[in-house]
Amino acid sequence: MLEEERMAAYLHSLDQPLSEPLSMLYQRAVEEEVPVIRPSTQSLLKYLMIAHHPKHILEVGCAVGFSALLMAETAGESVQITTIEKVPDKIKKAKENFANLDVNSQISLLEGDAADVLLVLMEKGETYDFIFMDAAKAQYIHFLPMVKKLLTEGGLLVSDNVLQDGSVIESKFTITRRDRTIHSRMREYLYAITHDDALTTVILPMGDGVSLSVKETKERTEKDAHA
């Protein structure tokens, strides 16, 4: 574990620093113990913004808006981000942060339970070429069918915190009773995204675990079916 921490610290030392506004927001979140994405995930998101060139992003789990702001800053003015949050205090803080950084034209915050909001987005026929999942971990498996329908062909689904500080590899009998539900649901989610014919998934053991799932195109799926 110590070697892993040393490696993570070294790799983080090589990262380009955050912009001043984002650095201040990140430090404040850490001081106030508000969950925000870890440095390794920050680097990954910045890389994916440049490599994937998303135009319409959906974020499931806004918190105080740090990751949405990071994606908006890196992807540029052409990107449109829709983010979901249900906790009133976090909604208030996120709105303040978006207003302070003048990104209200780029980022739309939808208030409410993610399952309800996702259903509304589906009914409206909305689609996204990049979806970042960072909400209640036990709900990932329930969100997956809706998220798949909202994701465009060739789109990328990024799910954060999928390894649960390593506990996901443990037997359920070694997990405290209060954590068994999230443990079993996350294992179910990881199995689902790695065995879904419509998705090609890789799981990265960085930060607290990040999975990247690309939605197959119809042409690719049909070709594989006839192979």
pTM of the full predicted structure? Answer: 0.90
What's the pLDDT tens digit per position in 51-64?
999 999 999 999 99
- pLDDT one-digit tens code per residue, 71-87: 999 999 999 999 999 99
CA-CA distance, 94 to 83, in Å (whole number)?
A: 10
pLDDT at 174 over 60: no
Provide the residue count of the chain: 227
DSSP codes, 76-90: -TT-EEEEEE--HHH
The domain 2-225: what is its CATH number?
Answer: 3.40.50.150
Burial readout 103-138 (b: 16 or more C-beta within 10 A, e: otherwise): beebbebbeeebbebbeebeeeeeebbbbbbbbbbb
The residue type of 36 is V
